Amino acid sequence: MYLQLTQFTYDEKTILVQYAIKKYENEEIVLEKLKNLLSEKEIQRNIDTLIGTQRVRRIGPENIQNNESHTELPDLPENLKTIIENL
């Protein structure tokens, strides 16, 4: 079951990317897992924005992780919990 892009708000897209990063911590895997939900451009834009705002940090060439010492992860909305669990 995949939802179309238009069904996600900007904040929901960001939260999806953050929780995918938390789950996998590898940029290529995050891109692969989210490609049925978001375009690659949107995923990359969200990653870049999260890095720029210091909510995510790059650890080496492929690994990324949430910068939880700097900011907390946002609460996961009910409508996204199943999506994250099934990634």
Domain residue limits, the chain: 5-85
Task: Measure the CA–CA gap between 56 and 4, rounded to whole angstroms.
Answer: 25
Structure tokens at 64: 């990324």
**Looking at domain 5-85, does it have CATH number 2.115.10?**
no
Task: Measure the CA–CA gap between 18 and 55, rounded to whole angstroms.
Answer: 9
Q: Rounded to two decimals, what is the model's pTM?
A: 0.87
| Per-residue confidence in pLDDT tens, the chain, 87 aa | 444 445 899 999 999 999 999 999 999 999 999 999 999 999 999 999 999 999 999 998 889 999 988 888 999 999 999 999 999
Name residue 8's amino acid: F
